[in-house]
Structures are given as C-alpha cells and as structure tokens.
Amino acid sequence: MGPKTNTRIPISLAPTTRYQFGKKDKLKSRKAIQELFAEGKYMNQFPLRAVYVLKHSDFQLQAGVSVSSRFFKKAVDRNRAKRVVREAYRLQKNNLEEILNQHNQALSIFFIYNSNVKPDFEKVYESCGTIIKQLITISNAAHQKNS
RNA sequence: UCUAUCAGUCGGUUAUCGCUCUGUUCAUUCAGAGAGGAAAGUCCGGACAGCAAAGGGCAACAUACCGGUUAAUAGCCGGCUUCUUCAGCAAUGAAGAAAGAGAAAGUGCCACAGAAAAUAACUGUCUCUUUAAACAGAGAUGAGGGUGAAAAUGUGAGGUAAGAGCUCACGGUAUUGGUUAGUAAUAAUCAUUACGGGUAAACCUUAUGUGCUGUAAUGCCACGUAAAUCAGCGCCAUAGAGCGGCUCGUUCAAAUCAGAAAUGAUGCGUUGAAGGGUAGGCAGCAAGAUUGUGUUAGUAAUAACACAGCUAGAUAAAUGAUAACCGCUAUUGUUUUCAAUGGUUACAGAAUCCGGCUUAUGACUGAUAGAUUUU
RNA sequence: GGUCCUGUGGCCGAGUGGCUAGGCAGAGCUCUGCAAAAGCUUCCACAGCGGUUCGAAUCCGCUCGGGACCU
C-alpha cells in the first residue's frame, strides 16, 4: 500500500512563497462591509457568490467570508463552510495580490457560501480559483482604462 | 445475546502550509497556550454592575407533606403519605410515579343522559277523608326511580302505617382532644362528634418569598457633528464667571436698530426639547462558591482538612487543510505470532462567570437489574 | 447576548373545558344551447410528547417550528 498521492487535491505548493491570511487581510470594519454591499458588484460561481469593489488608490486587499443560517442551521456546519472557503482563498490569492500591487489598486471581496450541501473542498477550491482569475482580468482592464 | 440505568474513556507523534492570544525580537523572528459533556435550550438560581429606595399596605408573580443540604433555587439527598404495576391465599414485599396546603370561608362550573349534578321539585310509598272503585283533597315519609365519570357511609338486624343512622352490632372515612414513638411529616391507640359529591394545572383562601434592569450592564478615552434649529426666561445696574488669603478683595463681563410709548426685530447669556453625529479603543475579561487526588464526618446530598496544579479569551468573531506512522478497534483469512481491508466517528463549536434542570447523542469498558437461549 | 409573542384543512380565519364555525380554493350535481354568476352536496384540520380532569384546540410542563422587540 503506497502513500496517498496528491492527485486527490490538486494543490502544488511552492515551498519558497508564503500563503498567509492574517488579521490585516480580513475585512472587518462594519462600515466598509456596508459600503461593499451597497455599491459592490456580484459574481456567481457555484457554490460561491462573490461581492467585490475595486478602487484606484493605495494597494490593499481584504476579504471576508459569510454563510447564511438559512442553509445551515447549526453553527458547526457554518463554521466548517467558512473554514473551507477561507482555506481555498488563502492558497490562491497570491497572484491577485501581485497584480493589484503592480496596478496600485484596492480591492475588497466578500465570499458568500450559497448552497445547502455540505462543503466539498475540491469544488470550493476550483470555483474560488475561477473567481480570482476573473478578478485578475477585471483588474487588468481597469488598469488599462485608467492609464 | 439483547434491553434499561449508573460511572468512565474517546487519542499520541512527525512533516508541509496556515489561524487567535501571550511573551519576545531589528523582523509575520522564536517560544508557549488554544472548545464541551452538553459550550445548546434559556427553564430555574446566584455572583457582579447600574438605576431606584422613609416605613407600611394593596396589587402582581412565584412557591406549597416533613427534615436536611447549599451562595441560592422550582435543584439535590433522606423520610412520610397516597396511587399504579408485579409477586403472594393473605400479611406483606419489590419497582415506579406524585404541581402532595385548604372543597368543613365564599363564588363559579359539572356537556349528553338522568326525576335530580346538590337547595329543592317530580315520580313513588303509606295513612286518613270522600267514593261502589278510581280520580281528587289533607297529611306523613325521604332515596325505590333502567342514567351517568360521579347519585348522599357499607352489610345485617331491629323498628314502623310506610319508611329513614331512627336505633343497635360489625365496619369505613373524617373533625376535635388526649397518650405513646419520632426533630417533624406521620404512625399506633383511646375518647368524642359528624358523615356534608367532584373540581383549586377554575376564581380564590392561608402561609412564605420577591424593588427593576441586565456584561451589547457599567466606567473611562479618542474621533466627530452643530458656534446650527425650535421654545421659555433675562439683558443699564446689577445678575453672572474666573482667581486668591473666600462674610472679603480683585479681574473679566454682556445692546443695538425701529417706535412718542407699549412693544417688535436681531444679538448675547441661560434652561429645556427635538434632532444630528460617532459605529473606534481600554477596562469589565479570565485565580475561581476553581480543578485533580487523598483522608475524615455523614445513610446520602454535602461539608471540613491536606497536598498538587493554573487551564481558551475572539469581536464579520481563532482552534483548520493534507500526508505518514504508532496506539485503539471491526471484518475476513490463518489461527501463538501474523497478514489484508476498513474505521478512528455520534451529538455538537466558547463569547461575563458559576450551580442545577431539560433536550441531542455513536463506539468501547466496568457495575447493577431484567428477559431469552444453551450447558 | 437578552426579553417576549405565536402555531387550527391547500390559503385566510373564529372558537369561556363538552360534536372545531365561516369564507376562498378543489371535486361532483342543479341551472344554461355553452359558459359565468347563483344554489346544493362533498373532501381535507387543532405542531409533537407527557400531565391535570369524567372529558383538553382550550389549563400546566417539556420539545420543535415561525415571528417581533431591545441593542
């Protein structure tokens, strides 16, 4: 019996780079969140739904995660879903961060887990990846338009 | 083997990438710590905090056999009584349950059925009068009347015109007063009186207790708006404010216009209202009715003492993802070893902190009880 | 975090412990040449469990769901 290979989870981690998601990278201000939901644009990618606002100012990238109690009644399940989404975002956000830093843009995202099925890490990882790719293209377009 | 109850346990190490807090560092550097028996429901009780408060009563709410326990409780422990089930001829025993004060203070309600649901009436029974007889009239009587969840203390005898606790015997239930045992509830027994249905998780009565609100309490700091709006009062001789050595001194100090005047407008001061702004930080907030072990006291709940330990603290809210090994465990094969495959879970995630209760829960171990099967 | 209210057919909604009203909707019939309207008939209910009571939708306790308020 050989060891379980990484084929199950398609993650290839570069050992030199860091994948951090600390206190500063989290969207915490109540005011900022209200603003985000008032002005932000929506993007659906099952089972995730992202709300984002892109601004031309000093570089900043903040993200938040939410699960409605409509889908999961128990706090345990909600916490589980949040953890999975956070993990998926943490492992893939570095490219986005670089590009935003180059373009000198501020982006705040809010991920909403939008399904009543218990979270599967693979799926969430994929959909989070596609969202980030789309955000990168949006950022590029905005940069060209601005310059 | 199954079921029920009680008690206990549910991981460890390493690697890669991370999260929160604390300490440390030039450094996101390094080190340490990081969910539960129910963290849940919020059903009770406290600690703590703010507000209120002379005293008393009413109201409202809660509790309700007795004793013990506790910081406190509607919890817990022990006992009493009643009821249910099982065993037994019975006496009684075992198990379980009880919101278990008062219906003899008063009011209400008791559908349908039934004469009647509590006072009586109706029907019936008996005697007398009248009459051929009946009807009728006068009087006596009190439970015989198919119902119903419930019908006026049960059986027998006496008694009477007919009957009736009207009387008697043996019982039953209860009130009051003794005696004995017990801290008490209560039990046994004696005397006495009564027998008046149920319902208080109907109103109520009696006794006891309770001020209200809750850590998003509360205190402090910072940022910010409004030096704005509306209403009341005062404005030329003293009101007021600051400082000091405080019955005083000293410094500051606020009004113009229109009008003959009353007064009005604006302005200044002051009080209040309605709105507006902020959405940050610190304390509260982690050493306590504390945890573990042992001894002693007690039937027990629990208490006392000794020794050892320090054990989460976030705020869009940490405790995660992946892999390997060890341990534990199930099945299959082989059966001392061992190998393969699988599982490592159920219920569930701290938010000021404790004590209970309730509810949700898989696997394994031990004890007790019951049932079934085999020997 | 705290304080409360509420649950009756598919929908709305009444109900002092004694057979769970009524309306809308559905089905059938009557009426009509056919429909509509109207009339008649019918179908489908007390959130769950336990207790008090002779008897609970109602009273009491627990559980589950839904909603509101404080902040």
Instruction: Look at residues A7, A8, A11, A4 and name the one whose alpha carbon lies nearest to residue A91.
Output: A11
Domain A25-146 has CATH 3.30.230.10: yes
Positions 115-144 of A with beta carbon below 7 A from strand B are: 121
Q: Which nucleotide is nearest to A64 (CA to C1')?
A: B316
Say how far apart CA A142 and CA A105 lie, in whole Å: 9
Say how far apart CA A144 and CA A58 lie, in whole Å: 17
Can you list the alpha helix ranges (DSSP code H) found in chain A? 30-39, 75-92, 94-103, 121-146
ipTM value, please give it: 0.75
Q: In Å, what is the separation between the CA of A113 and the C1' of B215? A: 33
For strand B, give the nucleotides within 7 A of a protein CB: 16-21, 28, 35, 279-280, 315-325, 340-342, 348-350
Tell whether pTM > 0.80.
Answer: no
Q: In Å, what is the separation between the CA of A33 and the C1' of B327? A: 48
Mean pLDDT by 10 residues, chain A (147 residues): 30 60 77 75 81 79 79 78 84 83 83 77 83 86 80
